[in-house]
Amino acid sequence: MRDDYEKARKSGEWAYRRAVFRGEYPYLPALNAMVHDIDKYAVRDLGIREVPMDMIVGTRTVGRQNSFALNFMPLMESNTEFASKWSQLYDSACEDGIREAVKVYEFMNKFYVEEGNKRVSVSKYIGYVSILGNVIRILPPKSEDPMTKIYYEYIDFFNVTGLFEITFTKEGSYAKLADLLGLDLITPWPDERLESLRAAYTVFSKRYAAKSGSKLSITTGDAFLLYLEVFGLESLLHSSDNTIDKRILRLWDEYITKMNRDSIDLVKNPDDVGKGSSVKTIFNLNSAFTGKPIRAAFLFDRNGADSSWVYSHELGANEVVENFDGAVEAIKFENCNTAQELSEAFEACSTDEEDIVFATSPAMMEQCLKAAIRYPGLRIMNCSVNLSLHSVPTYYPRMYEAKFLMGCLAASLSENHLIGYRADYPIYGGIANINAFALGAAWFDPYARVKLVWASKKGTDWEKELIESGCDIISGIDMIKPKDPTRKYGLYKILPAGSARKDGKIRKEQEILNLAAPVYQWGEYYEQILKKLIDGSLDARKEGSRNKAVNYWWGMSAGVVDIILSDDLPYASRKAVMSLRRLIINQSVSPFEGEIHTQNGLLKGPDTPSLSDKEIITMDWLCDNVDGEIPAIGDLEESIKETVKVSGVKGGASENSGHSR
């Protein structure tokens, strides 16, 4: 009917005027005009598929693009042949639907029409959710561009599901979705699981749109994935609209944070915590701790006897209790390494009204979020870096500063330019430690090579590998376990059997000479956080950063990281390292300033400023004097995979390909 054409045209004119007002192109985008040489890209015929209407955004060529506004509504006058054909098609669709498939090209999760623009226009006007289309996929050249990498992850997802509509903006999201459903991206998903996923996504999409989720820059898929992490898929299939709406609103701050993921509130010094906080806020919060001890809970994934990491945190907790002289109580939960155990620990913390909970492993973050949503009055902090959640502030030391000093010292003492480095997990922060060590070694010895091995790789005898490589000085584990008699920690030198001692006697067996060690000062870290809790600035900082994730990333200047030097060091080496230590503390020197070369070539030139905080935290490359690679997650021991899945660098996120960069 012509009346409906007029209504559609008015909608098109409104969209046209709005686009012009915003300075946008008012017509449909044409794919061949947007992407240079796209005709040379590889293609794949996907056959006849149901294509989501909201993912059809333009035309394949420029031929018909000016006949439609951005919303695919017509712009031609009512007395044209175009209008007559559109009206006839509309009448037919109202009686029999759209029977003939359109021809569309899919590129980077969006569809562009080559044949059937009017059919798409009529379908959008009527309100169809999808349309049959003969789909041809255009494959972009593979590259390091983040969106291209995400798209190829999507292709893996499509190959096992055949779904178009679920899209993400963060690498690793498709693997996370599969993991949440107990599936993978290799084996085709069972029909019943696909039916449940489609149904749940449809329900969520409607409720999310009703809450104006489309106004956020994240995709509906991003929001859907976070919902599943907290509430699960079944909750969408068996809950009322009202209940789902309330859950979405409880997650709204996290959606805003995801939208602003590049705007993390990175607090690098304890004195900065209270900046921007009002006196009134601090006074009110401070009164909460008058006359009663602070109850601080510590959640450990293992126990101190088995884990040097847990042991160091336990020492920190004990130190806090001692230093506060009865004003702080430490409640410890050990061996919380399953979702059920963590859930029970958080429930106990809420029931006992703990004032703050420290979850000491990045692998706990998912359960931290669930607990923060379930118990909104419970303060929870997670020991990690670059995991952006508004509800769960994070804390982590800048250990790379101490590692830089260790590298300098190692190079000054190495007799053959070969230094061994034992690494644990390929997670955020860990790669910066390796590169800072390597850059420190290059400062003192331009010919120094750092042999990198990963103790967490399957079947690795890291010490044997380093010794056989000829390394005379090794950077080993940073901390020791209480019952472990080994001296192979920190920076140490291997004195082989048959070598001479200072007194001239010959060693009958291998000996270890400890040179130095980096130190996590967890007691100082926790003490400063609790002081900020008492004066109210910790809570005020979180409230003042409502649309951001807060990350406390303190270093040597805050006293939470330091080094220990052996009395056996030559005085010149000790003097040089302590001088550099003072410069690091005063922030006069950065390991990542000036010229840097990676395994792939020049990263930045002479006299350039230091890498940004984000570049340091997220680096997934290795310096050119490092011999080794960042392992794929599939090469790692099963016991650490969960941590790497949550907090692993991009290079370590793949199941299949280790690499060096």
Residues 305-347: tens digit of each pLDDT: 888 999 999 999 999 999 999 899 999 999 999 999 999 999 9
Higher pLDDT, residue 291 or 334: 334
The pLDDT of residue 65:
81
pLDDT > 90 fraction of the chain, expressed in percent and rounded: 75
Mean pLDDT of 75-98: 93
Chain region(s) in the chain for CATH 3.90.1530.10: 1-141
pLDDT at 532 over 80: yes
Mean pLDDT of 46-54: 96
Do the beta carbons of residue 160 and residue 129 sit within 8 Å? no
Mean pLDDT of 227-231: 95
pLDDT at 655 over 60: no
Distant-in-sequence contacts of 578-581, Cβ < 8 A, 24+ apart: 580/404, 580/405, 580/408, 581/405, 581/556
The pLDDT of residue 291:
67
Task: Write the CB contacts of 158 (distance below 8 Å, at least 6 apart in sequence).
Answer: 164
Do the beta carbons of residue 432 and residue 611 sit within 8 Å? no
The pLDDT of residue 652:
41
Do the beta carbons of residue 310 and residue 276 sit within 8 Å? no
What separation in angstroms does the CA of 143 have from each of 139, 148, 150, 167?
12, 7, 11, 19
pLDDT at 507 over 60: yes
The pLDDT of residue 499:
81
Provide the pLDDT confidence category of residue 263 given band limits of 50, 70 and 90: low
**Six-digit token string for 159:** 């190959």
Strands (E), 88-222: 102-107, 110-115, 130-139
pLDDT at 614 over 80: yes
The pLDDT of residue 658:
36
Homologous superfamily of domain range 400-521+560-652: Response regulator (3.40.50.2300)
The pLDDT of residue 659:
33
pLDDT at 150 over 70: yes
Residues 339-373: tens digit of each pLDDT: 999 999 999 999 999 999 999 999 999 999 999 99
Provide the pLDDT confidence category of residue 508 given band limits of 50, 70 and 90: confident
Q: Does the CA dihedral 470-472-473-478 come out positive or negative?
A: positive
Provide the pLDDT confidence category of residue 100 given band limits of 50, 70 and 90: very high
**Six-digit token string for 53:** 């209407």
Looking up tokens 């759209």 gives 98
The pLDDT of residue 437:
98
Cα–Cα dist 546/140, whole Å: 38
Specify whether domain 293-378 bears CATH 3.30.930.10: no
Residues 640-650: tens digit of each pLDDT: 888 888 888 85
pLDDT at 195 over 80: yes
Range in 34-38, 282-286, 403-407 the model is least confident about: 282-286
Cα–Cα dist 403/37, whole Å: 47
pLDDT at 656 over 70: no
The identity of residue 399, as a single letter, is M
The pLDDT of residue 262:
60
Cα–Cα dist 645/653, whole Å: 7
The pLDDT of residue 555:
96
Q: What is the pTM of this model?
A: 0.84
Provide the pLDDT confidence category of residue 653 given band limits of 50, 70 and 90: very low
The identity of residue 392, as a single letter, is V
The pLDDT of residue 282:
37
Residues 471-482: tens digit of each pLDDT: 989 999 988 777
Residues 440-465: tens digit of each pLDDT: 999 999 999 999 999 999 989 998 99
Rg of the chain over all Cα atoms, to the nearest angstrom: 29
pLDDT > 70 fraction of the chain, expressed in percent and rounded: 94
Provide the pLDDT confidence category of residue 281 given band limits of 50, 70 and 90: very low
Chain region(s) in the chain for CATH 3.40.50.2300: 293-378, 400-521+560-652
pLDDT at 278 over 70: no
The pLDDT of residue 634:
86
Provide the pLDDT confidence category of residue 174 given band limits of 50, 70 and 90: very high
Cα–Cα dist 231/203, whole Å: 14
pLDDT at 290 over 80: no
CATH architecture entry for 1-141: Alpha-Beta Complex (3.90)
Cα–Cα dist 407/573, whole Å: 12
* Helix (H/G/I), strand (E/B), else coil: 496: coil
Backbone angles phi, psi at 434, to 5 degrees: -60, -50
